[in-house]
Every structure is written in structure tokens, then in C-alpha cells.
Amino acid sequence: MVREVEKRGMRLGKYELGRTLGEGNFGKVKFARNLETGQAVAVKILEKKRILDLKITDQIRREISTLKLLKHPNVVRLHEVLGSKTKIYMTLEYVNGGELFDRIASKGRLSESEGRKLFQQLIDGVSYCHDKGVFHRDLKPENVLVDAKGNVKISDFGLSALPQHFRDDGLLHTTCGSPNYVAPEILANRGYNGATSDLWSCGVILYVILTGYLPFDDRNLAVLYQKIFKGVVQIPKWLSEGAKNLIKRILDPNPNTRITMAKIKLDEWFQQDYTPANPDDEEEIYVDNKAFSLHEPMSEVERDPGSPTLINAFQLIGMSSCLDLSGFFETEEVSERKIRFASNHSPKELLERIESIVTEMGFWVQKRNGKLKVMQEHNGQKRPGSLSVTAEVFEISSSLYVVELRKSYGDSTLYRQLCTKLSNDLGVS
């Protein structure tokens, strides 16, 4: 049984906890040392209440189940999982060099020799995961750590897929990942091969390592997706022919003709100074059953039939644009007529608070079919200064929603003010 960590002793079983390495939505990561061996580790401390509130029990279980399978020098190692009444403690390999993202951000593009070494290790780690039936599905520089010796450590398997996640057609169908790194076949939403989609993300990472910027980028997500679908990559002339050729073969928008992992390892540019990594020795990983003494989130069949429309995780990426509203105000015809932002408030509370806020702003509200029509007119006439907006709520999960504001007609400045006010007051903080 694990006792709650005391502030005075900062002890967790055989581990002595130290400074905080990072904090996130689910808890924090602390530096720790094994008092028996002196080994430095990172302890990921997850708040059970937060996990339940956000309905991410399955995601945490998946990450732990995945890490238990993986024992490779280029994958972050899970040592053990402990539990208390209020927390889950994941003891992980301590990687003291930071994220690949930070290395690129501070240095700019890396030399081909340094970049090739990192890419070789990335491919070794990803290839090993695939051999174990694990597909990461969120590969990006932020999820690739580099230790003090310059060795790659792949991390964050919260969105990974295992063999049981495949459908009868042998494909994955859950749309997930980060927009700039996601493969075109995932966006197509017709099922995808986890191995080829991970390879695409590796290709984007290689491009970023060698150039210092993204191959596909745009503030407008619709434009970004079109660029990814077309797969037209502008490769700098100063890269070697070998690097150019490999990038082109990986960033092939057709997954059926995209280069395979085996062929990457045989590529002449990749082969330079290449020493394949060997999987680590098997190690018993202890997982405390008390770690998951949680109430399970409500299953799909238990959902209230009158609840808001449920949409998938990747649509959330496209919808949570409240972080930068400016990108939506580019053209009247396309951008200004539909604004979306994410919120943790319940649908009932959202609609009630929207009504209250817009009423205070001088609008009047008409309710219909679970939507709000927000209007401001001058003597019933559509004159300058008039505005008509429909507000609707979509469900991402039982604790996360998206508010969509659609303009029927009206003053653009007034519409911006309304959207900014609502997103600032009700959006995810």
C-alpha cells in the first residue's frame, strides 16, 4: 500500500521526490531518486479526481499498458506504477536533455549528420513499437525527448493504438494526432494503417530537424489540410540529394506507395554511420492494482439520448481555435461566418450563460431545438449595426464541449466583439 506523499519527507516508497520537472492538466512530473540504487527517475503524479472529471481513464490505462510492452533504448522506460486513494504514480526513466522541439527551437535547423543520427534513433524506436503491435499516432518533436548524450527517447503514448483497436478491415479509424504532423489518410477518415501514418509523422519530424520549420503550415486549418492532402513539399536546395529524396519518399500522400520502414533502413542517406539499436533486457514492471481503483466513466450506451451531438477527438483540434481568434477574421465569406471555441461548462450552463451575457450586451434571444438565435436589430430592420447569430453546443466528451457561433448576417465588428466576449468568459482557460 502506498501512503500519500508527505510534504516534510517527500518520500514515495523507495523514492525520494525532488523538484517539479513539469505540470499538465492531469498532474505534475517530479524528479526523484531511488534510495536503494541511487537511480534518477521521473515520477508522473496523476490526480485521480482530475482523470475522472476529464473522463480519460481509458487514455491513462492505454499509456500504461503500452509502456509495459516497450523496452527499447529509444523509448522512455516505465519502471513501475503505484497507487494511493487520490493519486496514480508512474515511475519513468528520467531523460535529462529535454524535448527535441526545444533543441530545434534553440539551435534552429540541425546539421545533416546530427539530424540523421536523431532520425535513425527515432526510426529504430518507432520500428520497434510497430514490431510490438504499438502505433504511436501522435509523433511530433514535443513527444520526442533527447537525453544529455544526444539519444532519442520516444514518449507520450496516451493516443497509441494496440492490435485490439483495429477493426475487421485491419485498419484504425480513430482520428487523432497533431494537425501539422498528421498523415493525409487520417484526415480522409476512411481508415488508415497505423504504421504508414506514423511514418508520415516521422517524415515531417525529419523535415523540421533539417530545415527548422514545418513542411505544411497555415493558420487556417482548412488550408493546412489541403496542403497535407496534396503533399506538395518545398524542399530547400541546400539539403543533400539523399536527404531530399528520402523526405519526398516518406511524405508521399499516397500511403500505398509511401516508403516502408524496411526500405528507410536500407536507404543510402539513412545508412551513413548507422548502428542499429538493440532492445533492452526484459524487466518485470510492477503495476499496483490500487492505481486504478477508479469509478469507470459512463459508457456510450448509458449516455442521455437528449445530450448534445458527440464529435470525435480530431474535430476538437479543428474546433479549439479560441486560442487564437485572429485567424478566423481573414475574409467575410469564409472565416467570419463561423467561430468555434472549447469549454468545460455543461451544455445547459453554456446556453444559460450565453443568454445572460448577450442580453447584457443588448441582444435579444430566441430559443429553438437546443440552439440560441441571438439578434440585434433596429426597429426590426436589417440596417448597419444589426446582427443575427446562432449558438449551438457540440459534445467532445462528457466534460468537454464546443460552442459554435454562426453569423446569418450583420455587422462584422459587432460580431467580433460578441465572439471575443463569449470565448473569453466561457472558453477553456
Q: With bands split at pLDDT 50, 70 and 90, how would you rate the model's confidence at 84?
A: confident
Length of the chain: 429
110 confidence band (pLDDT: 50, 70, 90): very high
Active site residue 138: yes
End-to-end alpha carbon distance in the chain: 36
For the cut 90, the answer to whether the pLDDT of residue 239 exceeds it is yes
User: Which CATH homologous superfamily contains domain 11-94?
Assistant: Phosphorylase Kinase; domain 1 (3.30.200.20)
- Specify the CATH number of the domain 302-426: 3.30.310.80
**pLDDT per residue as tens digits for the range 1-37:** 444 444 444 788 889 999 888 776 667 888 999 999 9
CATH of domain 100-271: 1.10.510.10
Q: Is 177 helix (H, G, I), strand (E, B) or coil?
A: coil
Residue 259 is predicted with a pLDDT of: 96
Active-site annotation holder among 124, 138, 198, 252: 138
**Does residue 44 have a known ligand-binding role?**
yes
pLDDT at residue 134, rounded to an integer: 82
Domain boundary assignment for the chain: 11-94, 100-271, 302-426
How large is the average pLDDT for residues 225-237?
Answer: 89
Given a cut of 70, is residue 133 above it in pLDDT?
yes
pLDDT band for position 311 (50/70/90)?
very low
Average of per-residue pLDDT across 182-203? 84
pTM (2 d.p.): 0.62
Over the chain, what is the mean pLDDT?
Answer: 76
pLDDT of residue 254: 92
CA distances from 293 to 113, 158, 268, 290, 328 (A): 48, 19, 51, 5, 44
Contact 158, 62 (CB under 8 A): yes
pLDDT at 377: 59
Residue 160 pLDDT level (bands cut at 50, 70, 90) = very low
At 279 the pLDDT is 76
Whether the CB-CB separation of 239 and 233 falls below 8 Å is answered with no
Q: What is the chain's alpha carbon radius of gyration, rounded to the nearest angstrom?
A: 24
Lowest model confidence (mean pLDDT) among 37-51, 110-124, 399-413? 399-413
